[in-house]
Structures are given as structure tokens and as C-alpha cells.
Amino acid sequence: MFVAGHAECVRFVKKLNLPLLVTGGGGYTKENVARSWTVETRVLLDTELPNDIPENEYIKYFAPDYSLKNPGGLMENLNSKSYLSSITTQVLENLFCIQHAPSVEMQEVSLMPVFVK
């Protein structure tokens, strides 16, 4: 099976049976964006696809095996703990500033990031 981490996230959220809008983000490489979105669309539609990619004008981007399988391997994590902590703090502060919905119970939250090993 050629479903990778990104598509597994889509599969997990889809299982929640909630309305879902799937949009792109950033940081893709041209070699992998088509693979990723094809696999994720397959997950969203509960459809099987062959692993082999048919001949097309962009086939060179799928070398060397011309398949949906992402050829990548483990990558070194270049994010420092302090950088990840600052991002987590900023996200939590932004969430803290969002107005709550009426009739929804409010609870105090800690802005201290929690890291799981």
C-alpha cells in the first residue's frame, strides 16, 4: 500500500464523519505534490488506484519508479526545540484570543506547551 502519513491523517479525520473541506498548504516539492493529492483524493473517495502512473507529460517527475509511492525516506528534523516551542506558544496564544461561541462552556487553559516523546 502506498498511503503515507499525510493520507493517513486524511483517513483519520474522514472517519469522524464530520463535514470536511480539504485544502492545500505549502512546502511541497513538485515531485511529490501530485502523488500526495492523488493518494489523498483516493482516500477521500474510498477508491482504489493502481500504483503505476500512466504515461503523461509530467511523467519525468515520477522517476525513477514512476509510481504513486513516495520515494522519500527519513529526513533529519532541523526544527529546534525552542523553535517548536515558540510556534506552539504562538498558536495557543492565538487560540486564546478567539471569541468563544455563545452557550459554550468556557474553561481555563494553560498556555504551557506539552511535548510528548
Q: How far apart are CA 86 and CA 84, in angstroms?
A: 5
Chain centre to alpha carbon of residue 16: 16
Residue 43 has pLDDT above 50, yes or no: yes
Segment 97-116, tens digit of pLDDT: 887 766 667 677 666 555 55
So where are the chain's domains? 5-62
Strands (E), 1-117: none
Segment 2-17, tens digit of pLDDT: 446 778 888 999 999 9
* Residue 46 pLDDT class (50, 70, 90 cuts): very high
Judge whether 18 and 10 are in contact, CB under 8 Å. no
Q: How far apart are CA 6 and CA 42, in angstroms?
A: 12
Report, in this order, helix, strand and coil percent for the chain, each rounded to 5. 40, 0, 60
Q: How far apart are CA 3 and CA 106, in angstroms?
A: 38
For the entire predicted model, the pTM comes to: 0.54
